[in-house]
Structure 1
Amino acid sequence: MSLSSKLDDFHRQTTENRWLWLFSIFCRIILAVGFIPPGIMKIMGERFTVLSVNHPMGNYLEALHHTGYYYTMIGVMQVVAGVLLLIPRTVILGAFIYFPIILNICILSLAVRFEGSRITSPLMVLANLYLICWYYPAWKSILPFNRPARQSLRAKWRELHPQFPFKFFSGVALAFTAVILFAVFGNELVPRNTLKECRTQCDESDNPAACYTFCDCIHKEGQPLNKCLETYNNASGK
């Protein structure tokens, strides 16, 4: 019997157990509860810890809170993953979105020895893995030893159409150009990596003095980006 067949048999025997089925529902609910409330707090821009910034985890979370829409996006993905877990038709998608987020939290908690999630986050990783395994038939075809016995997903080289897709590669070129233009011109000010590099953009700024203040705020005072931008806008009268 092949490994694929053994896994199929084991999964079938497991999913026929009533208590294991109830446990999968419990995992879905508890994981959703673990992500949706803190995710909503991030979306609202609120801190979710009272740790001192001198604490390793508190220092990290304080910096994370000042990352702007990155902080918000983490909250959005947490809420999305949690909601998807509660909907039967989207459980597997929610589980795969959930996994890298909770795995990152778990590794972070263990790395800084944070008592607040040093126990819960590993348990949540295991619960997430349980759900992924529970829905094994939905994704098993991606495994290298479990290819479906159907027509190959890719045609052979000689069977491929030779016509060059001008529209597609034009879209690729436009996307590439848009990303470059946004990176260069999308923000009026950027912190750069050093104080010297930051100041190089001040001569071309509408308000060089305010720009120098911005750079000092970042590199000398160590203030959050949003606060330094606010200082710059106030100095520029915006």
Structure 2
Amino acid sequence: MPISTALDQLHASVKQNRWFWYFTVFNRIALAAGFLPSGFTKIMGERFTSLSVNHPMGHYLEALHKTGFYYPFIGVLQMTAAFFLLIPRMATLGALIYFPIILNIFVLSVAVRFDGSLLTSPLMVLANLYLLCWDYDKLKYIFPFNRLPEQPARPMLPATFRTFPVRFFAGVAATVLLIACLLLTGFDLKPRNHTRDCLTQCAGSDNPQACQAFCDCIHQQGRSLDDCLARYHQAGPSKQ
């Protein structure tokens, strides 16, 4: 069976299940709610967080805030994507606009180990990917294994199947737990939002003094994350 036919059949079966439709609506609303406040803040020209400029994410956001019309432009795109997601006929375009923005936020959050979006951003990326897969019938012709139909496609039947997809939602729950474990515990040190929060990591550190120096390096000296991490690793475990 050609891969295009197999994907069409899988997509059709998913679209006819009411539980998947509920999950799609939930993702659209959740993603829209994630971008509306931040987009509005940028349009109003206000700084997005109260992080110190010494913090890696705070330094980035401060620079972004001073980029002139580029800062509110991002807010306009965020709010446009969010509103489009809430309009059924525009939801596909909304998901397409949303994806590069949230992917950038995810990569940035991991790069600077920012607690504020370290967990939420990858989940939002996955939710966005789900919405793009939901609209596979509209986007499939960008793939090389699909050809334009000779006749117009038949309209999709309304969601009718009520069988609860246990394996799918179990996979969703397992994925959320796995991402939480990897991102929340997978880093030896994180800058955290403030010095006092950063210092809470030092009690269980292999070298508490080096950990304290790391926090000072970030929040007081304003050095780069890579530089402060390199200093911490060079210190090595403490000798008792």
Q: In the alignment, which residue of structure 1 is the partner of 2:88?
A: 88
Q: In the alignment, which residue of structure 1 is the partner of 2:64?
A: 64
User: Which stretches in structure 2 are left out of the alignment for 5+ residues?
Assistant: 152-240
Structure 1: how far apart are the matches of 2:136 and 2:149?
Answer: 17
**Over alpha carbons, which structure has the higher Rg?**
1
Structure 2: how far apart are the matches of 1:65 and 1:34?
Answer: 19
Structure 2: how far apart are the matches of 1:57 and 1:37?
Answer: 18
TM-score by length of 1: 0.62
Q: CA deviation at 1:36?
A: 1.0
Q: CA deviation at 1:139?
A: 1.1
Q: CA deviation at 1:150?
A: 3.5
TM-score by length of 2: 0.62
Q: CA deviation at 1:84?
A: 0.3
SS of corresponding position for 2:117: coil
Moved over 6 A (4+): none
Q: Deviations over 1:85-105 (max 9, x none)?
A: 000000000000000000000
SS of corresponding position for 2:51: coil
SS of corresponding position for 2:115: coil
Structure 2: how far apart are the matches of 1:92 and 1:46?
Answer: 30
RMSD of aligned Cα (Å): 1.1
1:149 to 1:18, Cα distance in 2 relative to 1, 3 A = closer
Structure 1: how far apart are the matches of 2:57 and 2:63?
Answer: 10
Structure 1: how far apart are the matches of 2:87 and 2:29?
Answer: 10
Q: In the alignment, which residue of structure 1 is the partner of 2:229?
A: none
Q: In the alignment, which residue of structure 2 is the partner of 1:120?
A: 120
Structure 1: how far apart are the matches of 2:40 and 2:149?
Answer: 44
Higher RCO (CA < 8 A, seq sep 6+): 2
SS of corresponding position for 2:71: helix
Q: CA deviation at 1:46?
A: 0.4
User: Which stretches in structure 1 are left out of the alignment for 5+ residues?
Assistant: 152-238
Structure 2: how far apart are the matches of 1:55 and 1:32?
Answer: 28
Q: What is the total number of aligned residue pairs between the two structures?
A: 151
> One-letter code of the match for 1:76?
V
Structure 2: how far apart are the matches of 1:84 and 1:71?
Answer: 20
Q: CA deviation at 1:19?
A: 1.1
